[in-house]
Amino acid sequence: MAQLQTKVQPKPVPRSQLDVRKIAGACGAEILGIDLSVAPDAETVAALRQAFLDHQVIFFRDQDLTPVQFLQMAKLFGQPIEYPFVTGLDGFPEIIQVAKLEHEKSNFGGIWHADTTYLERPPMGTMLIARELPPYGGDTLFANQYMAYEALSDGMKALLDGLVAINSSAKADVTKTREDRIKDSGSKEAGKTYLSEHPAVRTHPETGRKALYVNVAHTVAFKGMTEEESAPILNFLFQHQVKPEFTCRFVWRPGSIAFWDNRCVQHNPVNDYHGFRRIMHRITLAGDTPR
């Protein structure tokens, strides 16, 4: 009599073995096959954190998260904090609405920047989820500031390693991108000016790598120099640090999430969809004092 064959059940793939796919050479990776509405296990959270550090910005697709679920997800990676200029959603002060409406011409944060570097402790990272999108446009660009620093000459690195950058929340090109949201949801602090001093080159507290830490939206001068003296160096850096070869571009779909490392990445939402609505929800996570 033929011996009965025992069917061997395949072993489940550990959840921590993520499907991580780079979207560009410089930075950015999509994480496939994960449902963030279900709390991931500790191994998966650790793997996501490593992907975040390895690729500087990670993306998820088709995540239908409520504000509660979005906030729970964010808390897996850090402490959500409130944004100083715009009030949060009702019941969720840590979640702000990033919107451009059909009649508006400026988009919120529509300039290359790292988030709120004018604070003493800028955010570690930022999470953005797409709620409503235009039929075209509205992509976001990201720029790897490790690569921007590493591409500099030894002489420029030596100069920058000793400089401290002065950052302000009141630079005109960025304040105008907040005007529409301050009109409809401005906080009590909306009229306040924040100033900070941070190294022009910071060392990432988790990876130990050096990254350029100036940006055109917030950096006004170097400490010990006038704005006029600082301008030639800063203007060079502002153009250098967003060269195409340091960047990736993300095309949003409803339910897409981007999670970027504010310590080594800049971003720029492209304002190319006048006449259409774009609604996103954003959470920022507490960071450290740059060193």
**Residue of 223, 93, 112, 256 whose CA lies nearest to 171:** 112
pLDDT band at 17 (very low <50, low <70, confident <90, very high): confident
Kindly name the residue from 55, 113, 181, 281 that is annotated as catalytic: 113
178 versus 111: the higher-pLDDT residue is 111
Q: What is the CA radius of gyration of the chain?
A: 21
222, pLDDT greater than 60: yes
- Flag whether 14 is in a domain: no
Q: Is the pLDDT of residue 163 over 80?
A: yes
Q: Could you read off the pLDDT of 40-98 as tens digits, one per residue? A: 999 999 999 999 999 999 999 999 999 999 999 999 999 999 998 889 999 999 999 99
Bridge-based pairing of strands 57-60 and 247-250 is unpaired
Contact 216, 173 (CB under 8 A): yes
Number of helices and strands in the chain (H, E): 6, 16
Q: Is 282 a catalytic residue?
A: yes
The confidence score (pLDDT) of residue 172 equals 75
Beta bridge partners, 48, equal none
Residues 93-136 pLDDT 10s:
999 999 999 999 999 899 999 999 999 999 999 999 999 999 99
**pLDDT tier at 7, thresholds 50, 70, 90:** very low
Instruction: Select the more confidently predicted residue: 239 or 180.
Output: 239
| CA-based end-to-end distance of the chain | 75
The residue ranking higher by pLDDT, 180 or 33, is 33
Position 4 in a domain: no
Which residue range forms the structural domain that includes residue 203? 21-33+42-285
Question: Which segments within the chain are labelled E, that is strand?
Answer: 19-22, 29-32, 57-60, 80-81, 96-100, 125-132, 140-144, 164-168, 195-199, 201-203, 210-212, 219-222, 247-250, 257-261, 265-269, 278-285
Residue 262 lies in a domain: yes
Can you give the CATH number for the domain in which 235 is found? Answer: 3.60.130.10
| CA distance readout (Å), 167 to 113, 114, 116, 171 | 11, 11, 9, 9
> Across the chain, what does the average pLDDT equal?
91
Dmax over CA atoms of the chain, in Å, equals 94
What is residue 107's predicted lDDT score, i.e. its pLDDT? 94
Task: For residue range 185-219, list pLDDT tens digits in order.
Answer: 665 565 689 999 999 999 999 999 999 999 999 99
Partners of 247 in the beta sheet?
A: 143
Q: Is residue 5 part of a domain?
A: no
Q: How many domains does the chain have?
A: 1
Report how far residue 252's alpha carbon sits from residue 176's, in angstroms, rounded to the nearest whole number.
24
Angstrom CA distances, 185 to 85, 129, 157, 280, stand at 9, 19, 42, 15
Q: Helix (H, G, I), strand (E, B), or coil: what is residue 174? A: helix
**% of the chain exceeding 70 in pLDDT:** 88
245-277 pLDDT, tens digit per residue, is 999 999 999 999 999 999 999 999 999 999 999
For residue 27, pLDDT over 80 is answered with yes
Please confirm, yes or no, whether 62 is among the known catalytic residues.
no
Per annotation, catalytic residue among 115, 181, 218, 263? 115
C-beta neighbour count of 194 within 10 angstroms: 17
User: Given 181, 204, 263, 267, which residue is catalytic?
Assistant: 267
- Asked whether residue 6 is domain-assigned, the answer is no
Across the range 20-27, mean pLDDT stands at 98
Answer yes or no: is 160 within a domain: yes
Query: Containing H/E element for 48?
Result: helix 42-55
Q: What pLDDT score was predicted for residue 85?
A: 83
Distance from C-alpha of 7 to C-alpha of 3, rounded to nearest angstrom: 12
The stretch 235-253 carries a mean pLDDT of 98
261 is catalytic: no
- A 10 A CB-CB count for 102 gives 11
Tokens of 232: 């030639």
Residue 274 designated active-site: no
The predicted structure's pLDDT at residue 189 = 62
Candidates 55, 181, 198, 282; catalytic one: 282
pLDDT of 192 reads: 83
Please give the residue that has the higher pLDDT: either 12 or 21. 21
In this predicted model, which residue has the larger pLDDT, 6 or 218?
A: 218
